[in-house]
Every structure is written in C-alpha cells, then in structure tokens.
Amino acid sequence: MKIAIVGPGAIGCLIAGLLKIKTKEDVWIYDNLQTRAARLKDSGIKIEGLSGNHQVKVSIASDAKEIGLCDFVFICVKSYSTEDACKDIKDLVGENTFIVTLQNGIGNVQILDDYFGPEKVIAGITNHGATLLGAGHVKHAGKGDTIIGKADGKLSGTLKQISNLLSKAGFDTKISKDIDSVVWGKLIINVGINALTAITRLNNGRLIEYAEARSLMRAAVQEAAKVVKRKRIKLAYDDPIQKAESVSKATAGNISSMLQDVLNKKRTEIDFINGAVVRQGKALGIATPVNEVLTNLVKTIEASYDKAVK
C-alpha cells in the first residue's frame, strides 16, 4: 500500500517514522515547504523516547504529483491548515483513497467532507504525545489509545485495515461506532489543559498543583460539557472534570502542543479547541465566559510574540 502523511510535525513524523520502521508499506510525507522537504529527504526522521531511538529515511515530496495516488492519506497538519492542505493534496486522492484525520479540535472532519466527500473520510484521535525537537526530530513522550471511526457509525473492512496498520506501527488502535463522542471527549480534555498550559507555561501535571489553575480548568471543562450535553453527545466517561484532571496527572511531564506552539512563537489551534466551544455555545445559547477569556488570552499571546517583555 502507498501511504501519505500530510504534515511533518511531531505526530506526523512519529507516525511516518514508525510506519516505515515496523511495516513494509510505501510511506511518504507530504511537506508543503520545499526547502524543509529537501532537508528532510537528506537527513531523514529521528525518533527518540518511548519507542526507542531510530534514524529512518522516508520518501518525502513538496509536490503531491510526485507522490501520486495513495491508498491512505493521514492528515497531521494543524487544524488551521486543514483547508489549505485539502487544496494541495488533490493529486494524492483517487477513487479508492481514504483520508484519516488524527488532528486536535473540532471542524476538521467537516472540511475534509466538503472537499473529498464523507464516504472517504475517517475521523480519529490519538493520545500519543510527541514533541518536535527540530525539523524531522521528534520525541515520543507519551502513549495512549488511538481511536478511529466513520461519522455515520458504520463499520467496514477499511477501518479494520487502518486499525491493523496503525497497531502494527505501535499505535494500539480501536474502532468506535460513535466517533463524535470520542472526538468531543478528547476536545473537552484539551479545553481543560491546552490553553492553560500555553498561558501559564506549565507542564500538564503542574496545572492541578495550583488551586487557581485547577479552578479555571474545571470551569472551562464544565462549560464544554454543557455544550456536549445540549448536542446530545454521550461521552465515554461520566465525569469530564475528573477525566481532565486524571489526564493532567497521567501526562504530568508532557508539554502540550499548544504550549509547544507558544514557546516556538507559532500560531496555535485555540480557535479549534476553546474557541470552538465558544462558537458552539453561542449557537446553542450557552454562556462560555471562561473559554472566551482563555481564547482571547492565547490569541493575545500569539499576536504579541515580538512585543513581549524579555
């Protein structure tokens, strides 16, 4: 099979590298930056951490035509780049291609559906933690479930094929009949952790050591849970606040993806996480003041990278 990973970020490099190491498939990375693609073609991908230390060469291209039609395309770009990625990768997608998103936040599936049709799109989440230490250099910092499914809840041989493929690469993967519940379940956890880590510059586990941060986490999660309840989405866990706090403890040393973005002075996914709760809340008539404040603070940090006191 030919597999393309779209985006050479932390999780994209981790998936591409481990697929190349542990399977016999034809693995490619699509990188829209030509200079970076050329550099990674020479240096390969370096992985360290929980999955061991590896240096692996992976085929990479900045022109989708060079890769050609694929069996599976994994979307691993930041959520704000999903629409641009859809425009770039049309040459990867044929009649029998399936597109898998393992991205953070809400809204990616709808964008992919609009471009390629819902019959081709497979939604999912992964709870593996990865930190990008440099171009093509990733630290595998945490392990957890990877869950995939179709928005219509239907099971298929394709889902089983993707599950087996990812599991073989070291991402223990389950199939869900209610992937909306899974995606929203992860969103609620990210709502409680990511923005607060980006603002405070604390590791995940440190948040619950401070009463004020813990209070904000609980309030943000509670607002998101109200939105989910109104949307009649049943979560896989009963207590969203307890779940967010337990994930914070379980990933205590992790540097969240949003904090990584802030430390590297990059754009964050705040609009697709806490910002998504604010938008959904407004549409449903639910007040989300804490998420609105967190969203505005992170967006202020983003806008003022070059003005911050050193």
Query: Which CATH number fits the domain that encloses residue 293?
Result: 1.10.1040.10
186-72-190 Cα angle (round to 5): 10
- pLDDT value at position 129? 86
Q: Which residue has the tokens 């986490």?
A: 217
**Same-domain pairing of 160 and 102:** yes
Split at pLDDT 50, 70, 90, the class of 144 is confident
Residue 35 CA to residue 38 CA, distance in Å, equals 5
3-state DSSP assignment of residue 57: coil
Q: Which of 118, 151, 177 finishes a domain? A: 177
Q: Give pTM, 2 decimals.
A: 0.93
Q: Domain for residue 310, yes or no?
A: no
Tens of pLDDT, residue by residue over 85-135, are 999 999 999 999 999 999 999 999 999 999 999 999 999 999 898 989 999
How big is the CA angle at 266 (ends 260 and 270), to the nearest 5 degrees? 75
Pick the last residue of a domain from 177, 209, 240: 177
Residues 223 and 244 in one domain: yes
- The answer to whether residues 187 and 154 belong to one domain is no
Same domain? For 164 and 196 the reply is no
Is 308 part of a structural domain of the chain? no
In the predicted structure, residue 261 carries a pLDDT above the cut 80: yes
pLDDT digits (tens, 9 = 90+) for 173-186: 999 999 999 999 99
End-to-end CA distance of the chain: 50
Q: What is the DSSP letter of 306?
A: T
Q: Classify strands 121-126 and 98-101 as parallel, antiparallel or unpaired.
A: parallel
How far apart, in whole angstroms, are the C-alpha atoms of residue 12 and residue 275?
Answer: 24
**Pairwise CA distance, residues 190 & 258, whole Å:** 9
Count of the separate structural domains present in the chain: 2
Domain boundary (162, 177, 192) is at: 177
* Together in a domain, 72 and 97: yes
CATH of the domain at 137: 3.40.50.720
Higher-scoring residue by pLDDT: 236, 279: 279
Report pLDDT digits (tens) over 208-259: 999 999 999 999 999 999 999 999 999 989 999 999 999 999 888 888 999 9
Q: Which structural domain range is residue 34 located in?
A: 2-177
What is the pLDDT confidence band of residue 65, given thresholds at 50, 70 and 90? Answer: very high
CA atoms within a 13 Å half-sphere pointing along the CA-CB vector of 128: 28
- Say how many C-beta atoms besides its own lie within 10 A of residue 138's C-beta: 27
Q: Look at residues 128, 268, 133 and name the one whose alpha carbon lies nearest to residue 197.
A: 268
